[in-house]
Amino acid sequence: MKAHLDDQLSAYLDDELIVEDRLAVEAHLESCEYCQALLDDWLSMQEQVQVAFQSTEAPISFEINVMQAIQDEQQVSVSKSWLILPLFVLFVIIMLGIAKGMMFIKLIHSSMRLSIALLYMVTHFMSSIPILAITAVFLSIAILTTSIYYLRRAIRLTSVEGG
């Protein structure tokens, strides 16, 4: 069975083929009844469309109606265009707010990481020097003792005043 040239027939009909392809299609059409019938159908449809197009006349007011429709569309688009600028400004403000918020979160996150790194560095430094480590332990004990003393004193004062 021969391959039919459905795809090339349209190009042949529109005179879009190069000379070699055109000759190949014409040779195929001589031996293939299916493609010849298909081409004849397309030629008759093309003629019918041309006849219908040529016999159709535009109304007298067609040009006026088209120009009026174009003018009306331009007026509608101009009346809607005032809304575009405020919406764009609102969109930019929202995007800047989101970006600013994300930058603020990143700043806080970076600050926390820096604080943790500094705390680790200070404790590592203090533990590597014995005198600083001992001093830090004694200061911690002194602060803890002082806190307990003043906490007990505050509890006694509130219990004496309340009861």
121 in a domain, yes or no?
A: no
pLDDT at residue 151 in the model:
93
- Number of domains composing the chain: 2
Q: Looking at residue 68, what is its pLDDT?
A: 83
Q: Is residue 1 part of a domain?
A: no
10 lies in the same domain as 77? yes
Q: What's the pLDDT at 1?
A: 38
Out of 81, 101, 116, a domain closes at 81
The pTM score is 0.36
CA–CA distance, 11 with 131 (Å, rounded to integer): 96
Domain end, chosen from 81, 113, 143, is at 81
In a domain, 37, yes or no: yes
Is there a domain that residue 106 lies in? no
Provide the residue range defining the domain that includes 30.
Answer: 6-81
Instruction: Please give the Cα distance from 162 to 58 (Å, whole number).
Output: 103
Which residue from 10, 76, 3, 85 is spatially nearest to 41, judged by alpha carbons? 10
Please list the ranges in the chain whose pLDDT falls under 50.
1
Instruction: Examine residue 88 and state whether it is found in any structural domain, yes or no.
Output: no
Residue 111 covered by a domain: no
42 in a structural domain = yes
Judgement on whether residues 77 and 138 belong to the same structural domain of the protein: no
